[in-house]
Amino acid sequence: MEWETVIGLEVHVQLATQSKIFSGASTAFGAEPNTQACAIDLGFPGVLPVLNAEVVTMAIKLGLGIQAEIAKQSVFARKNYFYPDLPKGYQISQHTIPIVKGGHLDISLEDGSTKRIRITRAHLEEDAGKSLHEDFHGMSGIDLNRAGTPLLEIVSEPDIRSAKEAVAYLKNLHSLVRYLGICDGNMQEGSFRCDANVSIRPQGDLHFGTRTELKNINSFRYVERAIQYEVERQIALVESGGKVKQETRLFDPAKNETRAMRSKEEADDYRYFPDPDLLPVRITEKQIEEIRQHLPELPQQKHQRFMEQYGLNTYDATVLVSSGALADYFEAAVIASGNQTKLTANWVTGELSAALNKFDMEITQSPVIATELGKLVLRIADNTISGKIAKTIFESLWNQQGTVDDIIEKQGLKQVTDSAAIEALVDKILAANPDQVADYRSGKDKLFGFFVGQAMKESGGKINPQQLNELLKKKLQ
């Protein structure tokens, strides 16, 4: 039987505020345990929450970024359950009336088409602390630094049909929240976390199958692997006559499998009710308009513009707009390159990205600045250097050995375009290799590369390759 995968994603975006959602304590990551939790975060008797206005602005930005409806009035509720890292015994979260309703995000599919993923809602809530089960000899440690950190939970409709689509959606959302400046996007520190609801159904069936929820998958790669594994598990289970159980499952990247965590059949009753300590969040049209006016160009608009303005294909445009800083880098490099758009895109997405990945660096940390990379492209385009030499120069730039022109000058890397000089070199090589010349002429076409290699070696790669090819062909006839 043909199976269809149905996926809905819940993404927890940690909002990049200085202080917590309901207290003045700092949200900075990595402090000593329990040093960034005030009486409010610790749930002391008598304390009260006061909403950080910044989180409302950030939620509105997200809402505008996904063309959603911003609720004029939204309500915080209490989600009641006991856990040691939940200090008040309830989490303050928006339940029946979230701040953002509806909206959508478009993703590019592998066949080049675009698919719209609908978004159900996005709501504000506070994070819990962390329980640490190791190192305490039969006891658990609690770190409440994270308690009260603002989160925006973004819930998609079950419109996603494959692990690849899920990753595309997540990457777009990740890029969007960073463009909007509402999240630092650091997945390792948990600033962008994803839960996936996964089910299967026979192709063409209109009813949804029983879903499992995969918890806390903290990298794009894991999302893809976790969903793939889970889909295969469900198919194998159903095909062997079993039934999928509604449950929460945890992905284990080491074993590449998902494991049942707790069953949803004995579902917790969270006893939600409106939090009487907080007034409804009221938002005016004027407030929304003001935020709209200051919104930066968003990834999808930029993607569109890059394709139109620079004539890029959808793949290059997608990679380049994946972060605002990368897109800015590209645009600065294009100017310096004398508008060599395609070649600049190749260098940014190719050589530069590879180097950054290798050293695990962000584009903002690149030792090669945008104008120099652009200049390098310009020197290729105006035939000062060959593409091959350019790679050498790039390495020198990376190691901060000067500007492009300095390096060309100092290392004498300027391309040889003087026909007479090239001819002399070709003659010298042919003369030095009479056997190979004879073999070539008797039909061993493959030896052409040998002569090119010899010439390049002799010249240190500086000969203009096109001119060399033409001359060699002529002389070898």
Partner 1 sequence: MLNKSIAELNHALHTKKISSVELTQFFLGRIKQFDTELNSFITVTEEQALQAAARADAQLAQGTAGPLAGIPIAQKDIFCTQGVKTSCGSKMLDNFIAPYDATVVKRFNAAGMVMLGKTNMDEFAMGSSNENSYYGPVKNPWHLGYVPGGSSGGSAAAVAAQLTPAATGTDTGGSIRQPAALCGISGIKPTYGRVSRYGMIAFASSLDQGGLFAKTAEDLAWLLNVMAGFDENDSTSVAHDVPDYTLTLNDSLKGLRIGLPKEFFNPSLDKEIANAIQAAIKEYEKLGATFHEISLPNTALSIPAYYVIAPAECSSNLARFDGVRYGHRCKNPHDLEDLYKRSRSEGFGKEVVRRIMIGTYALSTGYYDAYYIKAQKIRRLVRQDFDDAFKKVDVILGPTTPTPAFKLGEKTSDPLSMYLSDIYTIAVNLAGLPGISVPVGFIQGLPIGMQLIGHSFKEARLLNTAHVYQKATDWHTKKPEGF
By the criterion CB under 8 A, which residues form the site for partner 1?
39, 42-51, 78, 80, 82, 84, 87-90, 142, 269, 271-273, 276-279
Residue number with CB closer to partner 1 (79 or 225): 79
Distances in whole angstroms, Cα of residue 230 to Cα of each of 2, 154, 463:
16, 22, 55
10 Å CB burial of residue 194 (0-12, 13-18, 19+) is: buried
CB 163 within 8 A of CB 6: no
CB of 56 to partner 1, least distance (A): 13
SS3 content of the chain, % helix, strand, coil (to 5): 40, 20, 40
CB of 91 to partner 1, least distance (A): 11
Residue number with CB closer to partner 1 (99 or 107): 99
Residue number with CB closer to partner 1 (76 or 306): 76
CB of 23 to partner 1, least distance (A): 10
CB of 348 to partner 1, least distance (A): 48
Residue with tokens 């584009």: 363
- Rounded Cα distance, 185 and 152, in Å: 13
CB 138 within 8 A of CB 151: no
Residue number with CB closer to partner 1 (236 or 279): 279
Nearest to 278 by CA among 52, 439, 86, 39: 52
Query: Which distant-in-sequence residues (6+ apart) come within 8 Å of 224 by Cβ?
Result: 163, 164, 166, 167
Residue 215 phi, psi dihedral angles, 5° rounding = -95, 145
Residue number with CB closer to partner 1 (279 or 438): 279
CB of 137 to partner 1, least distance (A): 15
Residue number with CB closer to partner 1 (267 or 354): 267
Supply angle C-alpha 276, 280, 284, rounded to 5: 165
CB of 59 to partner 1, least distance (A): 17
Residue number with CB closer to partner 1 (279 or 424): 279
Supply angle C-alpha 202, 206, 210, rounded to 5: 65
Residue number with CB closer to partner 1 (132 or 456): 132
Residue number with CB closer to partner 1 (18 or 466): 18
Pairing mode, strands 192-202 and 150-156: unpaired
Residue number with CB closer to partner 1 (16 or 144): 144
CB of 182 to partner 1, least distance (A): 23
Longest pairwise C-alpha distance within the chain: 97
Distances in whole angstroms, Cα of residue 107 to Cα of each of 162, 241, 301, 431, 433:
12, 35, 13, 59, 57
Find residue 402's DSSP bridge partners. none
CB 126 within 8 A of CB 91: yes
CB of 130 to partner 1, least distance (A): 14
SS3 of residue 141 by DSSP: strand
Structure tokens at 290: 């003001």
SS3 of residue 261 by DSSP: strand
Residue number with CB closer to partner 1 (78 or 178): 78
Nearest to 27 by CA among 192, 193, 147: 147
